[in-house]
């Protein structure tokens, strides 16, 4: 993991990462440290191209899912973006990050789960949003969708599953339904130019994957 | 699912399939009825091209994993190919299948898990072997590898995992290790011309998938 040259020394960045990783040990696997690492790398890459502040972005990427444990334990009643921002506030205060900086980071965390209420306004919040969403699509998104299907005991493929409606995930479900219901829409939600271009490539790869899966399931290739 | 025109009427084929499906209800998901359906379709497709006997092949494909439950319950001590052939013997006797026919089917089942002792000798046994192995690779194989990783709580990707050795599957493992240790070798084990050609295409698709996964994990695309 690269460090953005900035406010903190390399030594400090390593300590920050270690303590976030420690904090995330009991997070759900699908949104654990591996996901955070990928969003961090993607965020820095997009952030450089979009000329965002990389210190704000790096801190926001590292801390964006720090509230997942609380969301899971509350069975979804607590929003991880809201509680994550609260936890991050304490964390960043201990790092003696100046208030204006800290508030920028907290805005990114609060708005990364954009569902109409807290929209990403700053450039850094938009980049974090895109990096987080990009990690749900492409080859990574496919792997995560099947991994999640395996975690809940779902099937490999089920062409007869009704794709409409909002019934919760069951053994009759598949990664294909996840794609049709959610992942297929992500490329149109990107907020930055760089994020949009990357999402197009990842989207096309998923489409080709499911076309091939379908042909193979029918014994055609 | 198509029926091969033969010894049994369409009505009889449907009854045979129903009773196998019923028998497999408590099989492990990775080798359950969905897998059997795919191997059946693949087997008939390859069997037609290779001019194999489709009745023998269809029965062998439907029954080939009927001993998986016993293998799982015995924690691997019982071989599913051996116990599967025993169970299939009773099943085929009840169908009043003539002995020479029945023995051909049982040979396919016994030898589909070729590990040096019971090699597939007949054309039908070779086709079943290829169809079963093909279902571990390609887009289907990728989906199954991630699904299985999810079932055992493994990670999405772990480039630092030691790929050598034979330690059993753990949370530190990934579908990529399954690919490197097992799936990568399958194309060279095919026994029929048609199976080999299909395996090449499926193999290339897996290679491209993991190349892309690796680039995405590093934030490069």
Which residues in chain A have their CB less than 8 angstroms from residue B153's CB?
Answer: 29, 151
What distance in Å separates residue B14's CA from the closest CA in chain A? 19
pLDDT band of A147, cuts 50, 70, 90:
confident
Torsion angle, CA of B108/B109/B115/B117, rounded to 10 degrees? Answer: -70
Q: Is A1 on the interface with B (CB under 8 A)?
A: no
Buried/exposed code over A68-89 (b: 16+ C-beta within 10 A; e: otherwise): bbbbeeeeeebbbbbbbbebbb
pLDDT band of B159, cuts 50, 70, 90:
low
Whether A159 has a pLDDT exceeding 70, the answer reads: no
Q: For position B164, what pLDDT does the model report? A: 58
Per the prediction, chain B carries an average pLDDT of 89
Interface of A with B in 153-182 (CB under 8 A): 153-157, 175
Per the prediction, chain A carries an average pLDDT of 89
Q: For position A18, what pLDDT does the model report? A: 93
A 10 A CB-CB count for A30 gives 16
Percentage of residues of chain B with pLDDT beyond 70: 91
What average pLDDT does range B172-198 have in this prediction? 91
pLDDT band of A160, cuts 50, 70, 90:
low
Sequence-distant (≥ 6) Cβ neighbours of residue B115 within 8 angstroms: none
Q: DSSP readout, B144-168? A: HHHHHHHHTT--S--TTS--SS-PP
Query: For residues A22 and B125, what is the distance between their CA atoms, to the nearest angstrom?
Result: 53
Q: Which residue in A has a C-alpha nearest to residue B199's C-alpha?
A: A221
And the tokens for B167?
A: 């330690």
Q: Which residue in A has a C-alpha nearest to residue B39's C-alpha?
A: A219
Of A45, A139, A156, the CB nearest to B219: A45
Count A/B contacts: CB-CB distance under 8 Å: 109
Whether B106 has a pLDDT exceeding 80, the answer reads: yes
Tell if the CB–CB gap between B212 and A205 is shorter than 8 Å: yes
Whether B168 has a pLDDT exceeding 70, the answer reads: no
Q: For position A76, what pLDDT does the model report? A: 86
Q: Is B73 on the interface with A (CB under 8 A)?
A: no
Task: Summarize pLDDT for A165-190 with one digit per residue, the tens.
Answer: 555 556 666 788 888 889 999 999 99
What distance in Å separates residue A193's CA from the closest CA in chain B? 14
Q: For position A213, what pLDDT does the model report? A: 94
Disruptive mutation site among B156, B159, B194, B199 for chain A (greatest number of A CBs within 10 Å): B156
Of B139, B150, B217, the CB nearest to A148: B150
- When mean pLDDT is compared across A13-27, A60-74, B161-175, the lowest value belongs to B161-175
H-state helical runs in A4-137:
10-23, 33-50, 54-63, 68-73, 80-94, 99-111, 123-134
Of B139, B156, B218, the CB nearest to A147: B156
Disruptive mutation site among B28, B127, B147, B176 for chain A (greatest number of A CBs within 10 Å): B147
- When mean pLDDT is compared across A121-125, B43-47, B140-144, B157-161, the lowest value belongs to B157-161
Q: For position A172, what pLDDT does the model report? A: 65
């Amino acid at each position: 993991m690269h460090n953005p040259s900035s406010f903190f020394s390399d030594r400090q960045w390593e300590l920050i990462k270690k303590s976030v990783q420690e904090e995330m040990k009991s997070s759900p696997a699908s949104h654990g440290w591996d996901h955070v690492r990928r969003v961090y790398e993607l965020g820095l890459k997009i952030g450089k191209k979009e000329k965002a502040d990389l210190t704000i972005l790096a801190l926001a990427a590292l801390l964006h899912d720090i509230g997942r444990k609380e969301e899971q334990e509350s069975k979804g009643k607590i929003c991880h973006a809201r509680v994550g921002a609260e936890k991050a506030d304490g964390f960043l205060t201990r790092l003696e990050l100046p208030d204006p900086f800290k508030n920028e980071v907290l805005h990114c965390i609060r708005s990364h789960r954009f569902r109409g209420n807290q929209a990403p306004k700053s450039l850094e919040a938009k980049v974090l949003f895109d990096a987080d969403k990009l990690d749900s699509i492409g080859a990574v998104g496919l792997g995560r969708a099947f991994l999640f299907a395996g975690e809940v005991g779902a099937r490999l493929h089920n062409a007869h599953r009704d794709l409409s409606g909002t019934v919760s995930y069951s053994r009759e479900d598949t990664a294909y339904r996840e794609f049709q219901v959610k992942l297929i829409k992500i490329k149109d939600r990107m907020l930055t130019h760089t994020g949009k271009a990357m999402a197009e490539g990842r989207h096309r790869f998923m489409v080709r994957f499911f076309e091939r899966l379908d042909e193979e399931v029918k014994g055609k290739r």
